[in-house]
Amino acid sequence: METNPNVAVAFYWLPLRRSIRIEGSVSKLSRQESETYFHTRPRASQIGALASPQSEVIASREYIDKIEDDIKLKLGESGEVPLPNWGGYLITPRAIEFWQGQTNRLHDRIRFRKSDEEVDDKLVHRGENGWVYERLAP
């Protein structure tokens, strides 16, 4: 993402037969923005993030539990949890598609996209702030 900021993300909910796909550009949040967000999370989540060397191989569950216990002991009940090697990214969307699956495979698809073009087409609808929306064939 640092060399190519163009991204697409998809979220699919099988039980509801729905998905959302977002296309846009991504930028890394500053350390201050990441820290501000980090401290809005529940304290247990902050400690968990600090305790876990995410995706590294560990010996056992007890290993992580011990690290968590040590952090809690060191910080006490009210000590601020320091920001671990942790950060966030912001996606600025250019297009968002909502999909609703249908049993007859004639799925519903609605796409919202940024467009500075004049819209003179009855199939494309003007929204707000430079957004247009349109129905797509399945």
> How much is the pLDDT for 85?
87
Q: How confident is the model at residue 126 (pLDDT cuts 50, 70, 90)?
A: confident
Whether 81 maps to a domain, the answer reads no
Residues identified as active-site? 105
Model confidence pLDDT, tens digit, residues 56-87: 999 999 999 999 999 999 999 889 999 998 88
Residues 18 and 51 occupy one common structural domain: no
Work out the average pLDDT over 113-121.
80
The answer to whether 125 and 134 are in contact (CB under 8 A) is yes
Residue 111 and residue 128 share a domain = yes
Give residue 59's domain range: 31-75
Give yes or no for a contact between 96 and 115, defined as CB atoms under 8 angstroms apart: no
Residue 48 placed within a domain: yes
Whether 83 maps to a domain, the answer reads no
Does residue 1 lie in a domain region? no
Give residue-wise pLDDT tens across range 11-48: 999 999 999 999 999 999 999 999 999 999 999 999 99
Q: What CATH number has the domain bearing residue 102?
A: 2.30.110.10
